[in-house]
Structure 1
Amino acid sequence: MASGTAVSRLLGFLRAMALAAAVGATGQAADAFSVANKLPNVLYMLLAGGVLNAILVPQVVRAYKRNAGQEYVDRLLSFGFALLAGLSLVLTLAAPLLVRVYADPASDAQITLATTFAYWCVPQLFFYGAYALLGQVLNARQSFGPYMWAPVVNNVVSIVGFGAFIAVFGGGVTAAADWDAGRIALLAGTATAGVVAQALVLVPFLRRAGVSYRWRWGLRGSGLSRAGTVATWTFIGLAIGQLGYVVVSRVASAAPGAADEAQAHIAGNAAYDYAFTLFMLPHSLVTVSLATALFTRLSAQAHDVDTAGVRSTLSSGLRVVGLFTIIAAAGLVVLAQPVTRLVLPSQPQGSVDAVAGVVVAMAVGLPAFGAWSMCQRVYYAYEDARAMVPIQVAMAVVVAGGALLSQAVLPSSAWVAGAGVSMSVSYVLGAVAAMVSLRRRLGDVDARAVVRTHARATLAGLAAAAVGVGALLLMERWGPDGLPGAVLQCVAVGGAMGLTYLGGLRLMRVRELDLLLGPLLRRLRGRRGSDRPV
C-alpha cells in the first residue's frame, strides 16, 4: 500500500510541477484554478468521502459475515452511485455560488475564470465518489493495493494533459482576463479526465476480490438505517470542519489583493494547495496506508466486542505512525525551501518563499494530525461519529479563529501561513481530546506507552533537526544554487537527518522502530534470498 502511495505521490509532484509551469504558483489564474479544482475534493470529502469511509468498511465487513452479504453490498453501492449522480448534477449547476463561497478575490475576471473552471471540475465529484465506493469495498475484502495504486493513473493522465497544454499554449499566463475557451477546456478537462480514469481502473479488480456487483434498488429491509445514522453524524462533523476551511479559503483568496503592488508573490489559494500537497506526502505514505489496513481490523474487533484488541491496535498504530510523522515533520521544517524548489523548479524565488513558509506552518502539526487520523478510525469502527462532533466543533473554531486573527494582525504575505499554524494547533487539540474521549470508551488507551514513544522520538527528531540545520547552512554557503542545489540539499541533509534519527531511536531502544521497518526489511531479505543460486 505504501509503495503504491509513494509512486502516486512522486507522480503527484511531477503533476504539481507541470501545473505550476502551466499556470504558476501564485497569481490570478493559479488561484482561480485552485479554487475550482479544489471544489470537487472539498465536496467529496464533505458529502461522500468521510461518510463513505465511516460506514462502508464496517458495514461491508459485517455484511460479508452474513449469508445475504453480497445483496446488501449491491444495495449499498447502488444507493451510493445514485446519490453521487444527483449531487454531482445539482452542485455543478450551483458552481457560481460555490465559487463565491470559497473565494473572495478582488478581481471580477478571476471570479469568472474560477466559475468556468468549476463547471469543468465539479463533475469530478461523481468519479471521486465512485473511486471511494469501489475502493472501500476492495479494502473490506482485504484487497488494499488497487485503491492505493489507482491515483497513479490519475497523475499520469494529468501530467500528459498539462504537458500538452504547455506545448500548445505555453506557460506563464497568470492574468485571468487572458484565458480563452481552448486553454480552459484543455487544463480543466485534463484534471477531470484523470479522476475518471482513477475510478474506472478499479472495476476489473472487483471480480478478482470476489465481488460480483449487480444493480439492486430499494432500501426497505436492507438494514441501512444504522448506516444512515452514522452517515448523518459524519456529515454534520465534516460540515462543521468545512466551515473552518471556508474561512481559510476566503482569507487565502483575499491575501494577494490586499498586498502592496510591490509585493508580487503573495501566498494565496494555489500556494496553500502546493504546501498542503507537501504536508500530505508523509501522511499519505504511512499514516493513511497503516490506518486503512488497521481500519478493517478495528471494525472486526469492534463488531466482536474485542475491546482489548481495539486498544492494542490503536496503541500500535499511534506509536508506529508517530515514529514516522515526527521525523517527517522535522524534515519538512528544515528542508522547506529546497523541497518547495523541487516541486516548483520553474517558479521565481518569491513564489518558492511564499509556499515554503506555509509548508513550515503546516508541518509542525503533522504528528498530531497522524494521531487524530488514527483516533478517527476507532470512532468509525464503532460507528459512533456523533462522539466526534464536539471535538470537530472545537477544531473548526480554532482554524477559523486563527485564520481571521492572522488576517487582522499579520501582513497579507503571512495570512496563509497563519492559517497553517491554526490548523496545526487544531490537530493537537483534536488528538488530545480524542484520546481522552476514547479512554472513557476503552477503559485505557495505553497512553503511557504512546507518550513514551512520542517523547523519545521527539528527542531523536530534535537532534536530527539540529544536524539538518547545520548541514543545510554549510551546503547553502558552499554548495550549488538553484534546482541542482535543492536536489543535493534534500538528499544529503535528508540522509544525515534520517541516520541521526535512526541512531537516536536505536540508542534509546525504541522497539516500535522494528514495527515500522520490519515489513521493508523482510521484503529486502526475501529479495536477496531469491537471487541466491539454488
Structure 2
Amino acid sequence: MTAGTLVSRLLGFAKTMLLVTAIGVTVGGAADAFDVANKVPNNIYMLLAGGVLNAVLVPQLVRAAKRDDGGQDFTDRLLTLAIGLLLILTVAFTAAAGLMVRIYANSGTWSDEQLALATAFAYWCLPQIFFYGLYTLLGQVLNSRESFGPYMWAPVLNNVVAIAGIIAFILLFGPGPEGEHAVGTWTGGKIALLAGTATLGVVAQALILIWPLRRIGFSFRPRFGWRGVGLSIAGRVAGWTFAAVLVGQLGYIAVSQVASTATSGAQGDVSASNAAYSVSYLIFMLPHSLIAVSIATALFTPMSRNAAAGDVSAVRGSLTMGLRTVAIVNFLATACVLVLAPQIAYVVAGGSIAQAEAIGHVLQAMILGLVPFSSAYLLQRVYYAYEDARTPFLVQLPQVVITTALVLACLALPREWTVAGIGASMSLGYVFGATASALLLRRRLGGLGLAGIAGNHARLAVAAVGAAAAGWAVSLPLEPMLFAGRAGALGSIAIIGAVMALSYLVLTWLLRVGELRELGRAVAARLR
C-alpha cells in the first residue's frame, strides 16, 4: 500500500509541477479559478459520501460476511443504494456549478470574468463526484476482503491520465507560469482539455478497480428494496458521519474564502493564495498518506472484526501499534519540512525564490500539525470500527469552531502571512482533535496506555529536534545551491535530508525507541 501511495504521490507532485508550468500558481486568476473548480468535487464528495462511505462500509461488510450467503445480498443492496444516491447528487451539484464556485471562492473580490472561468471549469470537474464515490465503494469492498493494494495503486492511473492532459495543454497552447494564460484568454477547447482530462483521470481511477474485484471472485447485481436487511445501523452511522463532514466543510469554506483574499488586487505579487494553499496541503499530506493511511487501512478491517467480537485488548493493541509506528515517520517528516520547506516548494511549484519562500511558510505552519492529524485519523478509525460516528462528530464540532475562529483572525495579518496563519490555525485544531479523541476513547476502552505513547512521542520529538539541528548546520555551507534552479534545490534536499534521516535514526536508536527496531525488521523481511 505504501509503495502504491508513494508512486501516486510522486506522480501527483509531477502533475502539480506541470500544472504550475501550464497556468502558474500565485500570479494571475486562472490558477485560482481552476484550483477552486477542481477542489469543489473533492470537497462535495467528502461532504456527501467520502467520510460516510469510509466510516460505514468496512465495518458493515465485515459483519455481513458472517451471514449464510457471505453477505452478498446485503453488499448488493448497500452498493445499489450508494451508487444511486451518488448519481443523483452528482447531477444536482453539476447543475449548480455556478453556486458551488461562489461558495468556495471569495466572490466579493473575484472579477465576474474569473468567476465565469471557474464555473466553466467546474462544469467539467463536478462529474468527478460520482467517480470518486464509485472508487471508494469498490475500494472498500476490496479492503473488507483484505485486498488492500489495488485501492492504493488506482490513483496512479488517475495521475498518469491527468499528466498526459497537462502535457497536451502545454504542447498545444504553450506554458504560462507568469500569467500568459490570463483569465480572458481561455477558450472552450483550452477549458475542456485541462479540466476534462482531470475528470477523465478520476474515471479511470474508479473503473480500474473492477479488474481486481473480478480476480477475487466478487460479483455485483443491482438489488432494490432496503427494508429489513440491516441497513438501519449503517444509516445511523452515515448520518453522524455526514454531520461531522458537513461541519468540517463549513470550516473549509472559511479557509477558502480567507485564502482567496490573499491575492485580492495583488496581481504580480508573491502572496500565498488558494493555489499555494493546495500545493502546501499536497506536500503536507504526503507522509500522512504514505504511512498513516496505509497502516490505518490495514488495521481497520481486523479492528472492525475484533470490535464485533468484543475483543477490546486486540483493538487497543492494534491502535497502540499504529500510533507508535506512524509517529516514527511523522516526526522525521516534520523536522525535514521545517528545515527544507522553501526548497521543497521551489522544486514542486517552481517560480521565484520569493514565491517558494511564501509557500514554504505555509508548509512550515501546516507541518506542525502532522503528528496530531495522523493520530486523530487512527483514533477515529477505532470509533468507526465500533460503529460509533457520534463521538467523532462531538469532537469535530468544537475543533472546527476553534479552527474557524483562528482562521478568521488571520484576516488581520499582513496579506503575505494570511495563508501561513491558516496553516498554523489548522495545526492547533488538529492538536485539540487528537487530544479530545484520545481522552474519550481511553474511557471507552478502559485505557490506551497513553503514558507509554507519550513517552514514545517525547523521545521521537527529541530525535527530531536533533535531526533538525543537524540539517540546519549542513544547510549553511550549501547555501549557494539551495535555490540554484530546481536541480540545485533537489540536490540540497537530497543531501540535507540524508543527513537528517541518518541523525534521526542514530538518535532514536540511542533513545531506545523499540518500534524503530521492529519496523526495521519488518522492512528487512519485506525486502528479502
Instruction: Using structure 1 for the length normalisation, give the TM-score.
Output: 0.96
Amino acid at match of 1:12: G
Q: Which of the residues 323, 326, 331 maps onto 1:326?
A: 331
Q: How does 1:251-330 map to 2 (within 5 A)?
A: 251-257=258-264, 259=266, 264-330=269-335
Give the number of equivalent residue pairs.
521
Distance 1:98 1:456 in 2: 46
Secondary structure at 1:384 match in 2: coil
Secondary structure at 2:195 match in 1: helix
Secondary structure at 1:101 match in 2: helix
- 2:229 pairs with 1:222: yes
Measured after TM superposition, the shift of residue 483 of structure 1 is 1.3
Secondary structure at 1:217 match in 2: coil
Does the 8 Å contact 2:481/2:489 carry over to 1?
Answer: no
Does the 8 Å contact 1:245/1:399 carry over to 2?
Answer: no
Distance 1:183 1:513 in 2: 50
Secondary structure at 2:478 match in 1: helix
Q: Which of the residues 371, 375, 378 maps onto 2:375?
A: 371
Cα deviations across residues 501-533 of structure 1 (Å, max 9, x unaligned)? Answer: 000111011111133333321122x2xxxxxxx
Does the 8 Å contact 2:481/2:492 carry over to 1?
Answer: no
Q: Which of the residues 125, 138, 144 maps onto 2:142?
A: 138
Distance 1:217 1:124 in 2: 25
**2:90 corresponds to:** 88
Q: How does 1:299-448 map to 2 (within 5 A)?
A: 299-345=304-350, 347-408=351-412, 410-448=413-451
Distance 1:415 1:461 in 2: 27
- 2:30 pairs with 1:23: no
**2:101 corresponds to:** 99
- 2:454 pairs with 1:451: yes
Does the 8 Å contact 1:28/1:174 carry over to 2?
Answer: no
Amino acid at match of 2:235: G
**2:59 corresponds to:** 58
State the identity as a percent: 51
Does the 8 Å contact 1:311/1:445 carry over to 2?
Answer: yes
Does the 8 Å contact 2:47/2:246 carry over to 1?
Answer: yes
Distance 2:446 2:425 in 1: 31
Amino acid at match of 2:221: R
**1:530 corresponds to:** none
Measured after TM superposition, the shift of residue 258 of structure 1 is 5.2
Distance 1:28 1:315 in 2: 46
Amino acid at match of 1:194: G
Amino acid at match of 1:235: F
Cα deviations across residues 301-325 of structure 1 (Å, max 9, x unaligned)? Answer: 1101111111111111111111111
Q: Which of the residues 188, 194, 200 maps onto 1:193?
A: 200
Distance 2:526 2:20 in 1: 37
Distance 2:454 2:8 in 1: 32
Does the 8 Å contact 2:481/2:488 carry over to 1?
Answer: no
Amino acid at match of 1:340: A
Does the 8 Å contact 1:5/1:148 carry over to 2?
Answer: yes
Does the 8 Å contact 2:353/2:483 carry over to 1?
Answer: no
Secondary structure at 2:387 match in 1: coil
- 2:116 pairs with 1:109: no
**2:3 corresponds to:** 3
Does the 8 Å contact 1:398/1:423 carry over to 2?
Answer: no
Distance 1:490 1:516 in 2: 24
Moved more, 475-484 or 380-389: 475-484
Cα deviations across residues 105-139 of structure 1 (Å, max 9, x unaligned)? Answer: 33221111111111110110000000000000000
Does the 8 Å contact 2:482/2:489 carry over to 1?
Answer: no
Measured after TM superposition, the shift of residue 479 of structure 1 is 6.6
5+ residue gaps, structure 1: 527-534
Measured after TM superposition, the shift of residue 180 of structure 1 is 1.3
Does the 8 Å contact 1:46/1:242 carry over to 2?
Answer: yes
Measured after TM superposition, the shift of residue 353 of structure 1 is 2.1
CA distance change for structure 1 residues 269 and 382 in 2, over 3 Å: closer, same or farther? same
Does the 8 Å contact 2:324/2:456 carry over to 1?
Answer: yes
Secondary structure at 1:171 match in 2: coil
**1:48 corresponds to:** 49
Does the 8 Å contact 1:320/1:515 carry over to 2?
Answer: no
Does the 8 Å contact 1:286/1:321 carry over to 2?
Answer: yes
Measured after TM superposition, the shift of residue 222 of structure 1 is 1.6
Measured after TM superposition, the shift of residue 62 of structure 1 is 0.7
